[in-house]
Amino acid sequence: MDNKKILIIGGGPAGLEAARQLLRLGWEPVIVEKTEQIGGHLSRWYKLFPDMMPASELLEQLTAGLEGAKVYLKTRVAYMNRLKDGYSIMLSNGTGIQCRAVLIASGFSLFDASKKEEYGYGVYDRVITNADLEAWFAGASDSRIPEHPRRIAFVHCVGSRDLKAGNSQCSKVCCMTAIKQAIEMKERFPDSGIWCFYMDLRLFGKKYEDFYINAQKDYGVHFVRGRVSEVSEAIDGSLVVKAEDTLAGTPVKLNADLLVLMAGMLCNADTATLARMVRSEVDSDGFLRSRDNIYRINESRRPGVFYAGACTGTKTIPETMAEARAAALDIHNYLCGND
Amino acid sequence: MIDFGFGLARSSAVELDKVDLSLYKELERLEPGIRKCIACGSCSATCTAGPWSGMSVRKLILNLQRGKDVSGMLSACMLCGKCSIVCPRGINTRQLILSLCRIYDNK
């Protein structure tokens, strides 16, 4: 097989950046995206921490260098056969592709917040998720968000660090997203009070801690350590939020007119199917299993099958960008026989 | 009213949207640094008076944020300032206690 094609499964940030780099290295990436547009979750986000860069700006940069890459939208991989020196792939649109390397960049799914029934997502009128709020920031209308919210509560770790919900992992980005969104809401509604209910604040990244201090110091966001136990609807449609203030050792209640649930990241439902198709493996957290989690995160245990981004675990966008570039270089070296 | 010999226990729940924050707001105006507290407890752990008197700057700030009276704790403070030295957020806790004493004095 001497063609230069490389199949990339997933047209989100990881797939786009890897494609961009592979093009520059002289290869012919073919992106297969299951939805009707590229960009993944990024295309539905408004602004990115820590510099409040518009998500659309990053997306523009990612897509700008894509001329020459083949992109199939609303397409999935139907089946994949291992050849002597590569793979023969049939797409759901009937296109056949033969290539020596496959990059899986299938990303993650957002936790379905209605599964945490105690928070009332989809039941009460004033409960939304982090993704709903981003869509609203970006201009979508949302009747659940009141015109002048007086009290807004954020619930951290919805579907993350939750064995009962089937996700023991930390989603990494939600603590910071909650603080970012709290600040954005405070800027829109300066008279509102904002409370964040958290188990731990995991602010590991560059400038994250600064965001936290600013949220306290400049925006007066209140942080309550304690997981929200239940939410009920008052007769006027407002919400009664109950939690334990674990620092004071007393139960607390808050009457809020908007509740934002920080839905976490989890593996896609079809991860196991995908893993079977490339004869790779799923890790204990449901994400794809890398060769190791330190040095060869981009590699599967199958020759010619590589990973980038959140398909192997929860990732920030900077981490995803770095992995996409690393994967592109790994693939280049693999195809050039530079091992 | 018939006396049944028992009554309803009062709920210990703090209603965050209803608590009286006037004292906290007044102190916050004088000492804006109070907002930066992350309740790490360094101040309380280093407090010389703490183990014997129940003095705790961490609890003091938290109680103020929950609208509770904290005057009882203040008399235990010896103003040694060790809490200010250890605070990772750089809150001048000694000054904060003095300002709070002043607010109580003016009442």
What is the predicted pLDDT for the residue at A89?
96
Which of B17, B39, B62 lies nearest to residue A151, judging by beta carbons? B17
Question: pLDDT tens across A193-233, in order?
Answer: 999 999 999 999 999 999 999 999 999 999 999 999 999 99
Residue A320's SS3 state is helix
Q: Which of A194, A245, A246, A259 to mutate to test the interface with B (most CBs of B within 10 A)?
A: A245
| Assigned fold of A5-108+267-335 | FAD/NAD(P)-binding domain (3.50.50)
Percentage above 70 pLDDT, chain B:
100
Output the CATH code of domain B22-106. 1.10.1060.10
Do the domains spanning A5-108+267-335 and A110-265 agree at the CATH topology level? yes
What is the predicted pLDDT for the residue at A68?
85
CB contact under 8 A, A225 and B12: no
Residues in Cβ contact with A158 at an 8 Å cutoff, skipping those fewer than 6 apart: A111, A113, A116, A119, A129, A174, A261, A262, A263, A264
Which residue in A223, A232, A237, A226 sits closest to A150, CA to CA? A237
**What is chain B's mean pLDDT, rounded?**
94
Q: Which of A191, A210, A250 to mutate to test the interface with B (most CBs of B within 10 A)?
A: A250
Residues B73-81: what's their mean pLDDT?
Answer: 93
Residue A65's SS3 state is coil
Domain ranges (residues) in chain A: 5-108+267-335, 110-265
Q: Which CATH class, in words, describes the domain spanning A110-265?
A: alpha beta
Prediction pTM value:
0.94
Question: pLDDT tens across A152-193, in order?
Answer: 999 999 999 999 999 999 999 999 999 999 999 999 999 999
Low-confidence ranges of chain A (pLDDT < 70): 1-2, 339
Give the integer Cα–Cα distance in Å for A165 and A225: 21
Closest-CA distance, A253 to chain B, in angstroms, reads 5
Residues in Cβ contact with A238 at an 8 Å cutoff, skipping those fewer than 6 apart: A126, A255, A256, A257
Give the integer Cα–Cα distance in Å for A232 and A126: 11
Give the integer Cα–Cα distance in Å for B64 and A208: 27
Give the integer Cα–Cα distance in Å for B13 and A272: 46
CB contact under 8 A, B13 and A256: no
Ordered alpha helix ranges (H), chain A: 13-24, 55-64, 130-137, 174-188, 208-217, 271-277, 317-335
What is the predicted pLDDT for the residue at B4?
86
What is the predicted pLDDT for the residue at B103?
95
Pairing mode, strands A109-110 and A265-266: antiparallel
Closest-CA distance, B91 to chain A, in angstroms, reads 11
Strand partners, A306: A103, A299
A 269-328 → B contacts, CB under 8 A: none
Question: pLDDT tens across B17-65, in order?
Answer: 999 999 999 999 999 999 999 999 999 999 999 999 989 999 999 999 9
- Within 8 A of B35 by CB-CB distance, chain A residues are 216-217, 220
Instruction: Output the DSSP codes for A210-245.
Output: HHHHHHHHTT--EEEES-EEEEEE-TTS-EEEEEEE
Predicted ipTM of the assembly: 0.90
- Within 8 A of B37 by CB-CB distance, chain A residues are 216
Q: What Rg, from alpha-carbon coordinates, does chain A have?
A: 22
